[in-house]
Structure 1
Amino acid sequence: MLHGVLSPADRHLILFQRWLRDTLNQITEPDGRQLVARFATWHCLHRLRRFAEHGPITEKQTQQARGEILQAIAFLTWLDQHGRTLATCDQTDIDGWYAGAYTARRLTHAFLRWAMRTKLLPRLALPHHPTTNPAPISQQQRLAALRRLLTDDEIPLLTRTAAVMVLLYAQPLTRILRLTIDDVVQHDGHVSLRLGDPATPVPEPFATLLLRHLDQRLNLSTATNQNSRWLFPGRLGGQPMTTDAIEQRLRTHQIATLNSRAAALRHLVLQAPAPVIARMLGYTDQQTSRIATASGSPWSRYAPGDDHSP
């Protein structure tokens, strides 16, 4: 392929197609095999091919497709064990399938939605994914992690900076990686970070840490990256770091991104009205209000525009 002898092909797509063939061959029931093959071809494989048109398919994308197909097989097997078929499936069956095992079976959503669109399944209600992280770290764990990141010079500076943004400001990695050096605002000896409107104050000692990172950003040695404005420049010119790269750094130092972010946001909405937190950190009012209500925030009845001071 490199020298043009063979036409270009996506490695992950080839491996997925091989896996799909082997998986379908293991289904002994003809009708079930046909159903899964149709779903895999017209939903999963079709989506992967669209992805391949814009660049190489990632391992995560093929993992999700495999998971959706395996859950489709498991659901059809479960129906058969209960004397049901996809055509006779009703709301009781859907509720029974998800009962007590939503997280493990949530990828079944893709198959069921496809089946409803193609008229193979009656229109039924599917359970919604929980909107808040079910297992945030404790406040004690969060403070201990912040203390370690702010004081331990053995941890790489880039890792410390990104991890503190997660633990202090509940920022997702995708948003952190879109920050530029212009989002770090210095005025009258104070530092703030433009995450929302208004900019969020940066307290010490994180302010000093952030400015150190600003002066020591990585991946600026190549000719295409010397003038990069990204706060976390990537190895490719003009691009920020990838979420996989920075998530691996955090995982190496025992920072669970989702759990830490959930804990930070829960703590913040207990300290100030949810709409105020939403505006300053780039969230929607609905997101922070749901978490405030679930956390029992004393500010949960606060409404934007009310004459309250946080």
Structure 2
Amino acid sequence: MKAIAPGKLILSGEHAVVYDRPAIAMAVDRSAQSVIIPEGVEDQVAFNLQDLKLEESFTVRALRELKNRLMKNYRLFLEGQLGIRDVLYKPVELFQFAFITILDGLHLKVANGVKINLHSNIPIGCGMGSSAATVLSVLRGIGHYFRVEFRPEWYLAYSLEAENLQHGHASGVDSYISMNGGCARFQKGEARQLPLPRMPMHLVHTGIPETTTGECVEHVRRQFEHSAIWNDFEAVTNALEQALSRNNLREIQGVIRENHRLLSEIGVVPQKVRGFIADVEKWGAAAKVCGAGAVGGDKGGMVLVCSKESPKELCDRYGYSLISVRGEPLGARIVG
């Protein structure tokens, strides 16, 4: 039995969405998948992260102990006694937490052994929602495996609980887009579907940031939580929605340039990435980071370039790689 869930791109509203301002995000045709099979001994759960060549097995009791530890760590984070990077000891714990959370939340029992094979072609740690997609593929797969009635609000709630462990104060946009697919305007936990954008776009991988999404969010929070700059972010998102509805490339590019300037102002665009985007603008196009960006180092994750022409030559000059993506209309689902 296989479940898949797509990754995402935030077109506008990074960071602002945390402060109840709108964001526009879309699902892309990169996905995480969970293949769940009966295997092993009674009360045993195995997690096989194929991309990392890592496999671990736990009893349900051990997973509950892990869940308690992670929830304690998260409380310490909320109290300011622990950094968000220290809530999880290793990435696989996020998916183990998701499993035991839905198991206990829906009062399910593991009568026989279960093995969960995880695989993803979503770049990790680059603002494309890889963790939310993987968590949702696990949740959706486990629900189907145990023949539980599918209720999207359950899966969104469990996904958000897991996402908080990694991002601190997750907005919910990653989980919503991966759950539902397509494109949406997201604000205060509510979403309104939008048509998938038709603008020409290219995705540039500038490297995995040295700082996590959670660390970026906390850094920005300390300096800008009560700033009026979020009004400017909201205006940009509103302008982008209108430009997208008209499919006006020049107008879209102008809004993206302004979005980039705002992201630079809050300090989440590394200097090297700013140089790349400046060259993109000289070239007559527009670009911005997609996701949290970075508050340290020279790598900023994914950069969205809005242009009819491919920026390959410019990417080669900077040592960046181009990634091909398209909009994905479908969200988390069972495929086999």
Same fold, TM exceeding 0.5? no
Instruction: Kindly indicate whether structure 1 or structure 2 has the higher relative contact order, using CA contacts under 8 Å at least 6 residues apart.
Output: 2
Q: What is the TM-score when the length of structure 1 is the normalising length? A: 0.29
Counting strand residues as a fraction of each chain, which structure ranks higher? 2
Q: What is the TM-score when the length of structure 2 is the normalising length? A: 0.27
- Which has the higher Rg, Structure 1 or Structure 2? 1
